[in-house]
Amino acid sequence: MMGIYPSYYEVNGEKKQIIGTQFETTFARQAFPCVDEPEAKATFDLALKFDEHEGETVLANMPEKKVEDGVHYFDTTVKMSTYLVAFAFGELQGKQTTTKSGVQVGVFGTKAHKANELDFALDIAKRSIEFYEDFYQTPYPLPHSWQLALPDFSAGAMENWGLVTYREAYLLLDPDNTALDMKQLVATVISHELAHQWFGDLVTMKWWDDLWLNESFANMMEYVAIDALEPDWHIWEMFQTSDVPAALQRDATDGVQSVHVSVEDPAEIELCLIARSFTLRVRGCWSWCGH
């Protein structure tokens, strides 16, 4: 589930697939020739052609500008790191809204889900972007912010600029039949990834050994944002009873890996991911990526 890969799901017993991407940390090089390092930012002109069928949706970091001879062309991106480039296509359903500043916000998932399972995430995403624009005093830098649930996804979520990808369980939920603690979890995951749209995407670490700072700031901001959006949740109490004890328990272990890990080879980047995953956040069954 790295580089460009298929996700599989079923609708009415029929097996289907959608194509998505995961380029963090150094998997963009599997898709196109590039200097695949966080400091090396560039603009990208993306064009996609695939075995397209009627009714399929195509998503990318930037809005689609035209389709010619079956090729989908997208607007030129702002300067960005390769690990944040993303695209996806397949039979998707989506819902959209617009922030007060005019940013288009959308939530997308497969048609294996009910339409109302997109509503909660759409509301949290919209209000999170509005909160961060005010908090950072910096406008959201792109025309849109798509949130996409992938059926097969190795991480919890990934902050691709303009096309954030999620494990389905961390984005889609039935608002009428979901416990509050799960709503809180989904909300903090969304606000975490959207915090990265500024801190991580707009302002990026020079090298992977500072990934801990990128993630620790987003870990804090997810609580700051949700506390502002849903004060009745008392979200800081969850932070004190879950994240803090877990981090302290691991830090008390003899020989625990340090947060800041030297990176001299691409194979060593995973050590940084492990460090941020378990030292900065330990919650439930989240996998290697600490989002």
Q: Which of 117, 193, 215, 222 is catalytic?
A: 193
Q: How far apart are CA 51 and CA 67, in angstroms?
A: 14
Chain centroid to CA 280: how far?
Answer: 17
* Closest to 46 measured CA to CA, from 6, 86, 104, 105: 86
C-alpha dihedral sign at 38, 88, 22, 192: positive
Q: How far apart are CA 277 and CA 211, in angstroms?
A: 11
* Six token digits for residue 117: 């399972």
Q: Does residue 193 carry a catalytic annotation?
A: yes
Q: How far apart are CA 61 and CA 84, in angstroms?
A: 9
Any alpha helices (H) in 137-242, and if so which ranges?
180-195, 211-229, 235-238
* Closest to 81 measured CA to CA, from 175, 191, 168, 211: 211
Tell me the residue type at 196: H
Supply the residues annotated as catalytic.
Answer: 193
